[in-house]
Amino acid sequence: MAVISDNCPDIDVTLVDKDKNKIDAWNNKDLSKLPIFEPGLKEVISRNRGKNLFFSCEIKQSIQEADMVFISVNTPTKIKGLGAGYASDLKWVESSARLVAEYSEGHTIVVEKSTVPVRTAELIQEILGESKTGINSKNNKTFSVISSPEFLAEGTAIKDLENPDRVLIGGSDKVSMNLLKEIYSRWICNEKILLTNVWSSELSKLIANAFLAQRVSSINSISALCESTGANIHEVVKAIGSDKRIGAKFLSPGPGFGGSCFKKDILNLVYLCRYYKLEETANYWEQVLFINYWQKKRISSLIIEKFFGTVSNKKILILGFSFKCNTNDTRESPAISISKDLIDNGAQLFINDPKVQKEQIEIELEIKEFEVDELSLGSWNFINDLDNVPRNIDAIIVLTEWKEYIGINWEKLCSKMRRPAWIFDTRNIIPKEVIKESNINYWQVGKSL
Ligand code: UDX
């Protein structure tokens, strides 16, 4: 929305939330304290906030004044009830639609921006339709529901929004669709703005994420085969990626994919397939998740195996906790399950991340900093400055590909390690020569030792 305000100075954009703390954080004068770290975001906010970009808790008034309302709320996987573990929980979408139904005046275009299961627009339409016939109805209300899913990736969000591969607008009301198209076309060329029916638009978002996740799981499954056979994953990626039909992007092996979308959207897709009795299609896509789970488990297991089955009392430095670089987001980060496995096996972890706060790590690991796990005696603490890494560490595990880690003084860090020591590079970012000279064992994903 901030990028819309940046490109359309004549349009007022108001972001509303009932959580005052969130809104206060977005209104913070100190732009380094915005709730989300995203390259380029603070610049966009500083250019527009208070001019045509506003953050507010005034939900009623903002909806009353709006010609277009974007529903951009969370749609987490349901943890209880019908479809638990697979289907998306639509309670926030539903309650947002009810607010629009209650407060809107005149004609309102409702844009479904959250990633939603197919046919959610129907639900929104139904709720809005009720408001025209219900007891509190004001007859002057009319609505159009259209879908316009978001394809941005974290860490490159502003770039992706400024220069998207495509924008989707799904619906049946051509007038409303063209109004939204007019907004996007201020900075995106018309060829990239695709108009579809509403279900194609909703489904395309799930399928795009499923295909991307499938590439990551495919290459991660092959990384294990490379380690066993002596093939080198990067040579394989180069060889297959040169085929234009396959393409070179999104084929980096790693500790498994994380983030708020891939797992949730595939679970949703699997649920949808099973709903339509397409068991084979459901099973096919579910395998993408199984491989991702397996990749994380196989990495924590192989670390433990390299220490002859015990990491109890071992000091291990974890480099990176966010699910990828250039974001402070830790949702579904592979660092969570790998760290938990090591703590469960008695390791003492020292965790560093350039952007993730220790309070966030505490929430994800479900054990407080310095607290000792009763059964395993494992623990963790945050290391803000790598100069403070204690002596005699046994292992270093690179879990996020932050560029800060490439430039580390590896010689100095290696000198603090107790032999036999291991470095596990799950992102293949450390130059091998640096490590070789230090007489330290080095494991890289997708390469044999
Ligand atoms: C994803 C989609 O890319 C985006 O289009 C959608 O709108 C939201 O979901 P995001 O989750 O922000 O975006 O990050 P992405 O760059 O897709 O990475 C997802 C995960 O896959 C990360 O954990 C990343 O490290 C991993 N990944 C990605 C790999 O391991 N290897 C790759 O080659 C690419």
Q: What is the pLDDT of residues 2-13, one digit of tens each?
A: 999 999 999 999
- Residues serving a catalytic function are 261
Percent of the chain scoring above 90 in pLDDT: 90
Whether ligand 1 lies within 6 angstroms of the CB of 348 is answered as no
Whether ligand 1 lies within 6 angstroms of the CB of 446 is answered as no
Distance between CA atoms of 182 and 448, rounded to whole angstroms?
A: 53
Backbone angles phi, psi at 248, to 5 degrees: -90, -15
Question: Going from the N-terminus, what domains does the chain have, and what CATH number goes with each?
Answer: 2-206 (3.40.50.720), 291-444 (3.40.50.720)
Give the per-residue pLDDT at 48.
Answer: 97
- Work out the angle between the directed axes of helices 198-229 and 262-275 (0-180°, nearest 10): 120
- Work out the angle between the directed axes of helices 120-133 and 198-229 (0-180°, nearest 10): 150
Is residue 268 a contact partner of residue 87, using CB atoms and an 8 Å limit?
yes
Average pLDDT value for residue range 34-55: 96
Give the per-residue pLDDT at 434.
Answer: 78
The residue with greater pLDDT, 114 or 328, is 328
pLDDT > 70? residue 299: yes
Mutation test of ligand 1: which of 115, 202, 216 has the most ligand atoms closer than 8 Å to its C-beta? Answer: 216
Give the per-residue pLDDT at 132.
Answer: 63
Whether ligand 1 lies within 6 angstroms of the CB of 400 is answered as no
Give the per-residue pLDDT at 139.
Answer: 62
Whether ligand 1 lies within 6 angstroms of the CB of 209 is answered as yes
Q: What are 263-278's pLDDT values in tens digits?
A: 999 999 999 999 999 9
Backbone angles phi, psi at 142, to 5 degrees: -140, 155
Average pLDDT value for residue range 80-86: 91
pTM value is: 0.94
In this structure, the residue with its CA closest to atom 21 of ligand 1 is 257
Give the per-residue pLDDT at 112.
Answer: 95
Average pLDDT value for residue range 223-237: 97
Average pLDDT value for residue range 307-325: 97
pLDDT > 70? residue 138: no
State the distance from the centre of ligand 1 to the C-alpha of 335, rounded, in angstroms: 15
Give the per-residue pLDDT at 137.
Answer: 56
Average pLDDT value for residue range 49-76: 96
Q: What are 194-213's pLDDT values in tens digits?
A: 999 999 999 999 999 999 99
pLDDT > 70? residue 133: no
Q: What are 405-439's pLDDT values in tens digits?
A: 998 988 889 999 999 999 999 999 998 887 877 88
Confidence of residue 281 (pLDDT cuts 50, 70, 90): very high
- DSSP state string for 46-109: HHHBTTTEEEES-HHHHHHH-SEEEE----PBP-SSTTTTTSBP-HHHHHHHHHHHHH--SEEE
Percent of the chain scoring above 70 in pLDDT: 98
